[in-house]
Amino acid sequence: MLRVTIDTKEFDKVLDDLEKKVDKFSKSALQEMGDELLRLSAFEVPHDIGVLQSTGVSKAQGEDWIVAYNTPYAARLHEHPEYRFQKGRKGKYLEDPLKHNLSKWLRLYNEELGRMFR
C-alpha cells in the first residue's frame, strides 16, 4: 500500500489570504455602490422642505449594505409613484436609479475587483 501525505499549510494560507482580500473588496465595492445610489436617488427623492432627503444613509449593516431614507413616510412615498410631487421628484426614488444604472454598478464592481488583484 502506498501512502502519500500532502502538506497543505501553504495552500491553506493562500486561500485564507484570498478570502480576506475578497471580503475587503466586497465591502469596498458595496460601499462605493451604495454611496453612488444614495447620490443618484437624491435627485429623485420627494422634496418639500428637505426632511426626507436629509435622512438618506448608505451604511454597512452586518454583511449587507443599506441605502435608505429614514422617515415614517419614506416607504409610502417610495411605493406610490402615482403621487404627484413638486420639482420633478417622484416615487421609486431608490428603485429606479438602481435599475437604470446596472451598467454603472457592474463597472464599479469590476473596478474594485481590479484593485483587488493589483
Q: Decide: residue 6, CB within 10 A, 0-12 exposed, 13-18 middle, 19+ buried.
A: exposed
Cell of 51: 426632511
pLDDT given at position 89 = 93
pTM here is 0.81
pLDDT given at position 34 = 94
Summarised one tens digit per residue, pLDDT across range 2-52 is 888 888 899 889 889 888 888 888 888 889 899 999 999 999 999 888 899
